């Protein structure tokens, strides 16, 4: 008995009434002609009546066959090979993929429903006394039955499964299923996997060679899909902006323009167009955040329009003011007079009430020892003569752990000592002090780098010039990046990644000793961005945002019991473990409200894993897996479940030819 991948389309069989109605109506139609030689005509008709009746019946049957064959072909019947049916009891592990991509609608129904039906049919076809286990491919593989159960029980368990919102780790699910088969009762063992075979879940998967591996596919082409795949915060002109990344799969031949909407409090606050270039799968745009946001009210970003998967077109975020970068500034020239202090200008700007983005701690750089900089994001060494070996060692470890080091120079700097102490950290070795041109025109070799974005904006208006009396000649390290240089190519600001951290070097002074840079409008943004980049926080993800299935760890100040209200209205409690409070029931996207008994609020949002939006199948698809499996020596019955669509299409074609011929002869 065949099963159908698109059973809903079988309603098309109602179309069988059309040929019948045509047959009945067509019997009495025809133009009227008054004729004389009726005797001959009537005699001919009497002789031909029987034949015509026969032809009419054949014509009706041909039309019925034509309609039925077309309907059945599009319903995609699969026929179980007799050889499989004839085998003895089977131990089957049925694996179903319930990742988000399975929610994609094809021909009006979700692929999950169709593939689940096919997997149920696989169970229904099992010989007597077979046993079945069900494994669900989810964010983590999950056994739906404790072990092998009867096909009837497995069926009940499988029927209750619905499509999820997460990314399935299908290789893990197959491993889990394979392990279950080791404890199977019957010699004939089979692993049936129903999936859309999306490459994000399957790429690199190697099918097991020692069992009957039966990939189940609905044969549908992957529909086009687009998604809002990433959101990140970035510094803007006056306040942070959101970097929007929208994806479209497969790549379009023409440029696509997608419309993204930002909604706050249920009302659309802004719209932005995102262009995806031809042949690309992603496009980017920036959207300014509105002012005065409530950290507990989510913002919704959504793409307008409909596509195969609706759930990945929307993302929620919780706005939260960025935390200030904690800067540990070592003042190498703390002057007795205010005007002579190395950090006079920088300190003043950083402490301004309108600039909450820097938290500055200044220490005396001339002291023999510096207080600890633990807990700080960036260490700034301003015109420091040189670090001693212990300090240099500690700074290396500090940077490699993932922190930032910013070095500015001056007349007190001992270049040779610096090169010896921190040569492996410096973006370039210090050579000698040189005088700069006046005025010094600046160039931006890395104008696309967000650190120098304010300078790039200014450069579009007028040439960047400053007074530069002196600077160090520096030989840049091979992996250093020159962000700002003089017009003659001498580096002014360099940056280099070291370990998990970064080191920046300003080849002139940070005060007005050697330059009037502190008097320029770009001074503070340039330093601030350099510091923020060194702290790894130039762009930042939205805080308190998680992916479906991800475990949420609450901050230490959260106190048990911590209640969590899920987007679908359930009230759950966070678990208290050794590592603190956590919550793992993040199976659906949306806003989760969390609060402890003392009024502490720890709301968070859960979004779709962007990898699930790419619906394109594994290269070669399940057919490749089936062929691969069939090549194995101990794989009986691989490649079964013959798709009868092509055969039915041929039947439809034959019926069409027969219908045309009969209609002509009738």
Partner 1 sequence: MTTPATDRASVLDPLTLAKVANLSLKARLVVEGVLSGLHKSPHHGSSVEFAEHKEYSPGDDTRHIDWKVYAKSDRYTVKRFEEETNLKATLVLDASASMLYQGSGVSKWEYAVTLAASLGYLMLRQSDAVGLALVSGAGTSFVPPRSNSGHLKALLDALERARPAGRVALGPALETLAGRLRRRGLVMVVSDALDELPPLLRALAHLRHQRHEVILFQVLDRDEIEFPFEGLTLFASLEDEREVLSDPVVVRRDYLARLAAHEATLERALRAHEIDRVRLVTSTPLDKALVAYLAAR
Min CB(66)–partner 1 separation in Å: 21
User: Which neighbouring-strand residues pair with 216?
Assistant: 194
Which segment (22-30, 238-246, 495-503, 532-540) binds partner 1 by CB under 8 A?
22-30
Distance, in Å, from the CA atom of 323 to the CA atom of 346, rounded to the nearest integer, reads: 19
Residue 30 near partner 1 by CB under 8 A? yes
Residue 32 near partner 1 by CB under 8 A? yes
- Among 14, 22, 24, 43, indicate the residue that binds partner 1 (CB under 8 A): 43
For 93, residues 6+ apart whose C-beta sits below 8 A from its C-beta are 132, 133, 134, 135, 177, 178, 180, 181, 190, 191, 192
DSSP 402: T
Distance, in Å, from the CA atom of 442 to the CA atom of 484, rounded to the nearest integer, reads: 7
Element (H, E) at 276: strand 267-276
Min CB(666)–partner 1 separation in Å: 6
Q: Closer to partner 1 at the Cβ: 38 or 268? A: 38
Min CB(38)–partner 1 separation in Å: 4
**Dihedral in degrees, nearest 10, Cα atoms 413, 417, 420, 421:** -80
- Among 1, 21, 25, 29, indicate the residue that binds partner 1 (CB under 8 A): 29
Structure tokens at 626: 């089936």
Min CB(113)–partner 1 separation in Å: 47
Distance, in Å, from the CA atom of 330 to the CA atom of 371, rounded to the nearest integer, reads: 10
Residue 461 near partner 1 by CB under 8 A? no
Distance, in Å, from the CA atom of 190 to the CA atom of 80, rounded to the nearest integer, reads: 15
Residue 36 near partner 1 by CB under 8 A? yes
Beta carbons of 509 and 473 less than 8 angstroms apart: no
- Among 21, 31, 375, 556, indicate the residue that binds partner 1 (CB under 8 A): 31
Q: Closer to partner 1 at the Cβ: 26 or 110? A: 26
Coil/strand/helix, residue 294 = coil
Q: Closer to partner 1 at the Cβ: 39 or 238? A: 39
DSSP of 497-557, one letter per residue? EETTEEEEEESS-SSSSSBSGGGSTTHHHHHHHHHHHHTT-SSEEPTTEEETTPPEEPPTT
Min CB(65)–partner 1 separation in Å: 22
Site string for partner 1, 218-257 (x = CB under 8 A): ----------------------------------------
- Among 1, 21, 25, 33, indicate the residue that binds partner 1 (CB under 8 A): 33
Site string for partner 1, 52-91 (x = CB under 8 A): x---------------------------------------
> Site size for partner 1, by CB under 8 A?
26
Distance, in Å, from the CA atom of 550 to the CA atom of 171, rounded to the nearest integer, reads: 18
- Among 18, 20, 41, 497, indicate the residue that binds partner 1 (CB under 8 A): 41
How many other CB atoms sit within 10 Å of the CB of residue 370?
18
Residue 25 near partner 1 by CB under 8 A? no
Residue 37 near partner 1 by CB under 8 A? yes
Which segment (25-33, 203-211, 446-454, 571-579) binds partner 1 by CB under 8 A?
25-33
Q: Closer to partner 1 at the Cβ: 42 or 81? A: 42
Min CB(49)–partner 1 separation in Å: 9
Distance, in Å, from the CA atom of 239 to the CA atom of 207, rounded to the nearest integer, reads: 51
Coil/strand/helix, residue 634 = coil
Min CB(55)–partner 1 separation in Å: 8
Residue 666 near partner 1 by CB under 8 A? yes
Which segment (33-41, 192-200, 549-557, 626-634) binds partner 1 by CB under 8 A?
33-41
Site string for partner 1, 498-527 (x = CB under 8 A): ------------------------------
Site string for partner 1, 646-665 (x = CB under 8 A): ------------------xx
Distance, in Å, from the CA atom of 427 to the CA atom of 170, rounded to the nearest integer, reads: 44
Site string for partner 1, 117-146 (x = CB under 8 A): ------------------------------
Cα 43 to its chain centre, rounded Å, is: 78
Beta carbons of 486 and 439 less than 8 angstroms apart: no
Q: If you count them, how many residues does the chain have?
A: 666
Cα 283 to its chain centre, rounded Å, is: 13
Q: Closer to partner 1 at the Cβ: 39 or 253? A: 39
Residue 38 near partner 1 by CB under 8 A? yes
Distance, in Å, from the CA atom of 489 to the CA atom of 487, rounded to the nearest integer, reads: 5
- Among 13, 14, 48, 187, indicate the residue that binds partner 1 (CB under 8 A): 48
Structure tokens at 406: 């910013």
Which segment (31-39, 112-120, 498-506, 539-547) binds partner 1 by CB under 8 A?
31-39
Beta carbons of 180 and 172 less than 8 angstroms apart: no
Residue 40 near partner 1 by CB under 8 A? yes
How many other CB atoms sit within 10 Å of the CB of residue 409?
27
Cα 630 to its chain centre, rounded Å, is: 33
Which segment (45-53, 90-98, 507-515, 584-592) binds partner 1 by CB under 8 A?
45-53
User: What radius of gyration, in Å, describes the C-alpha atoms of the chain?
Assistant: 36
Which segment (34-42, 117-125, 202-210, 362-370) binds partner 1 by CB under 8 A?
34-42
Residue 28 near partner 1 by CB under 8 A? yes
Angle among Cα 479, 483, 486 to the nearest 5 degrees reads: 115
Contact residues toward partner 1 (CB under 8 A) are: 26-45, 47-48, 52, 664-666
């Amino acid at each position: 008995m065949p099963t159908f991948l698109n059973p809903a389309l079988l309603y098309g069989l109602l179309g069988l009434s059309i040929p019948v109605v045509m047959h009945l109506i067509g019997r009495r139609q025809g133009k009227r002609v008054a004729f004389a030689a009726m005797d001959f005509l009537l005699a001919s008709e009497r002789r031909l009546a029987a034949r015509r009746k026969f032809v009419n019946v054949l014509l009706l049957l041909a039309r019925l066959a034509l309609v039925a064959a077309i309907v059945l072909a599009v319903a995609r019947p699969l026929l179980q090979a007799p050889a499989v049916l004839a085998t003895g009891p089977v131990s089957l592990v049925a694996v179903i993929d319930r990742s988000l991509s399975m929610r994609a609608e094809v021909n009006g129904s979700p692929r999950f429903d169709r593939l689940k039906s096919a997997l149920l049919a696989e169970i229904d076809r099992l010989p007597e006394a077979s046993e079945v286990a069900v494994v669900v491919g989810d964010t983590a593989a999950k056994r739906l039955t404790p072990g092998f159960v009867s096909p009837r029980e497995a069926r009940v368990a499988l029927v209750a499964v619905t499509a999820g919102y997460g990314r399935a780790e299908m290789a893990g699910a197959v491993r889990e299923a394979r392990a279950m088969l080791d404890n199977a009762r019957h010699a004939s063992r089979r692993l049936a996997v129903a999936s859309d075979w999306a490459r994000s879940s399957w790429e690199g998967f190697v099918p097991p060679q020692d069992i009957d591996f039966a990939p189940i596919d609905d044969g549908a082409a992957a529909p086009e899909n687009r998604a809002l795949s990433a959101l990140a915060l970035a510094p803007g002109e006056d306040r942070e902006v959101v970097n929007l990344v929208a994806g479209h799969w497969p790549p379009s031949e023409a440029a696509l323009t997608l419309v993204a909407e930002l909604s706050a409090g249920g009302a659309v606050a802004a719209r932005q167009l995102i262009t995806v270039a031809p042949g690309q799968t992603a496009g980017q745009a920036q959207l300014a955040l509105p002012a005065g946001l409530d950290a507990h009210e989510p913002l919704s970003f959504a793409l307008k329009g409909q596509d195969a998967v609706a759930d990945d077109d929307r993302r929620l975020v919780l706005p939260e003011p960025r935390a200030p970068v904690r800067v540990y500034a070592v003042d190498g020239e703390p002057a007795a007079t205010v005007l002579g202090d190395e950090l006079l200008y920088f300190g003043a700007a950083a402490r301004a009430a309108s600039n909450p983005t820097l938290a500055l701690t200044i220490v005396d750089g001339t002291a023999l020892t510096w207080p600890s900089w633990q807990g700080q994001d960036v260490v700034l060494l301003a015109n420091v003569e040189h670090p001693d070996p212990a300090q240099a060692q500690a700074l290396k470890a500090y940077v490699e752990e993932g922190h930032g080091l910013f070095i500015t120079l001056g007349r007190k700097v001992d270049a040779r000592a610096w090169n010896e102490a921190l040569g492996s950290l410096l973006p370039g070795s210090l050579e000698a002090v040189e005088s700069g041109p006046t005025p010094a025109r600046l160039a931006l070799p890395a104008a696309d780098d967000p650190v120098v974005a304010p300078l790039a904006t200014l450069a579009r208006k007028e040439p960047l010039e400053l007074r530069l009396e002196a600077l160090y000649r520096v030989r840049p390290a091979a992996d250093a990046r020159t962000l700002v240089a003089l017009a003659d190519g001498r580096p002014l600001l360099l940056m280099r990644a070291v370990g998990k951290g970064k080191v920046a070097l300003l080849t002139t002074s940070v005060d007005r000793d050697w330059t009037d840079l502190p008097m320029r409008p770009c001074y503070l943004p340039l330093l601030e961005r350099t510091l923020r980049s060194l702290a790894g926080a130039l762009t930042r993800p939205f805080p308190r945002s998680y992916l479906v299935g991800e475990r949420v760890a609450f901050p230490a100040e959260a106190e048990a019991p911590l209640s969590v209200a899920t987007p679908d209205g359930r009230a759950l409690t966070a678990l208290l473990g050794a590592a603190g409070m956590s919550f793992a029931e993040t199976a659906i996207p949306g806003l989760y409200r969390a609060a402890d008994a003392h009024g502490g609020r720890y709301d968070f949002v859960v979004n779709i894993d962007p990898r699930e939006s790419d619906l394109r199948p594994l290269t070669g698809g399940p057919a490749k897996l089936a062929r691969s499996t069939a090549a194995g020596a101990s794989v009986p019955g691989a490649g079964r479940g013959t798709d009868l669509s092509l055969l039915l299409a041929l039947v439809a074609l034959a019926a069409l030819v027969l219908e045309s011929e009969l209609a002509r002869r009738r």
